[in-house]
Structure 1
Amino acid sequence: MGREQRRLLIDPGRLQRAPAGLVDLSPAESRYLVKVLRYGPGAVFAIGDGAGGLWEAELTEAHRAQLRQPLEAPLAWQPPPQPQLVLLAALVKRDYELLLRMAVELGADWLLPCRGDYDAVVGQPNLERWRTIAREAAEQCERPWLPQLQDPRPARDWLGGTVPLPPLGPTPTERAPGSLAGLKLIAIPRQSGGLPLLEALDCWTATEPPGSLWLACGPEGGWSGAEESLALDQGWIGVDLGPRILRSSTAAVAGLGLLSDWRYRRWGC
Structure 2
Amino acid sequence: MVRELRRLLIAPERLAAGTTLALAPEESRYLSRVLRYGPGERFAVVDGQGQLWSAVLLDGPQARLEQPLDQPLQRRAAASPRLELAVAIPRLDFDVVVRMACELGVDRLQPLLAEHGALRGSWKAARWSTILREACEQCERLWLPQLLEPLEAITYLGQPRTALALLATTRAAELPVLGTALAPVSAESLERVALAIGAEGGWSPAEAAAAQSAGWQAVSLGPHILRTSTAAVAGLASLVQWREATSLGR
TM-score (ref. length: structure 1): 0.86
Partner residue of 1:126 out of 124, 129, 139? 124
SS where residue 200 of structure 1 aligns? Answer: helix
Kept in 1, the 8 Å contact 2:51–2:72? The answer is: yes
Residues 40 and 120 (structure 1 numbering): CA distance in 2 closer, same or farther, change over 3 Å?
closer
Match of residue 99 from structure 2: 101
Match of residue 12 from structure 2: 12
SS where residue 111 of structure 2 aligns? Answer: strand
SS where residue 195 of structure 1 aligns? Answer: coil
SS where residue 252 of structure 1 aligns? Answer: helix
Q: Give a deviation string over 1:200-230, Cα, whole Å, max 9, x none.
A: 10241x3615211211001121101222222
Match of residue 187 from structure 1: 168
SS where residue 191 of structure 1 aligns? Answer: coil
Match of residue 216 from structure 1: 196
Match of residue 27 from structure 2: 29
| Identical pairs, percent | 47
Match of residue 238 from structure 1: 218
Q: Alpha carbon RMSD of aligned pairs, Å?
A: 1.8
Match of residue 260 from structure 1: 240
Question: 1:200 aligned to 2:200?
Answer: no
Kept in 1, the 8 Å contact 2:176–2:219? The answer is: yes
Kept in 1, the 8 Å contact 2:116–2:203? The answer is: yes
Kept in 2, the 8 Å contact 1:209–1:267? The answer is: no
Aligned mates of 1:62, 1:241 — CA distance in 2: 52
SS where residue 85 of structure 2 aligns? Answer: strand
Partner residue of 2:229 out of 238, 246, 249? 249
Q: Give a deviation string over 1:140-197, Cα, whole Å, max 9, x none.
A: 11111111111111112221226x9xxxxxxxxxxxxxxxx63211101142542111
Post-superposition offset of 1:62: 4.6
Where in structure 1 are there 5+ consecutive unaligned residues? 165-180
Post-superposition offset of 1:124: 4.0
Residues 114 and 31 (structure 1 numbering): CA distance in 2 closer, same or farther, change over 3 Å?
same
Aligned mates of 1:214, 1:61 — CA distance in 2: 46
Match of residue 69 from structure 2: 71
Match of residue 173 from structure 1: none
Q: Is the deviation greater in 191-200 or in 118-127?
A: 118-127
Partner letter of residue 15 of structure 1?
A: L
Partner letter of residue 180 of structure 2?
A: E
Kept in 2, the 8 Å contact 1:196–1:241? The answer is: yes
Q: Is the deviation greater in 109-118 or in 186-195?
A: 186-195
Match of residue 167 from structure 1: none
Match of residue 57 from structure 1: 55
Aligned mates of 1:2, 1:191 — CA distance in 2: 49
Where in structure 2 are there 5+ consecutive unaligned residues? none
Question: 1:155 aligned to 2:135?
Answer: no
Match of residue 178 from structure 1: none
Aligned residue pairs total 248
Q: Is the deviation greater in 37-46 or in 146-155?
A: 37-46
Which 4+ stretches in 1 moved above 3 angstroms? none
Aligned mates of 1:108, 1:234 — CA distance in 2: 23
Match of residue 225 from structure 1: 205
Match of residue 112 from structure 1: 110
Post-superposition offset of 1:39: 1.7
Aligned mates of 2:230, 2:220 — CA distance in 1: 14
Kept in 2, the 8 Å contact 1:187–1:240? The answer is: yes
Aligned mates of 1:133, 1:50 — CA distance in 2: 14
SS where residue 172 of structure 2 aligns? Answer: helix
Aligned mates of 2:119, 2:173 — CA distance in 1: 25
Residues 105 and 207 (structure 1 numbering): CA distance in 2 closer, same or farther, change over 3 Å?
closer
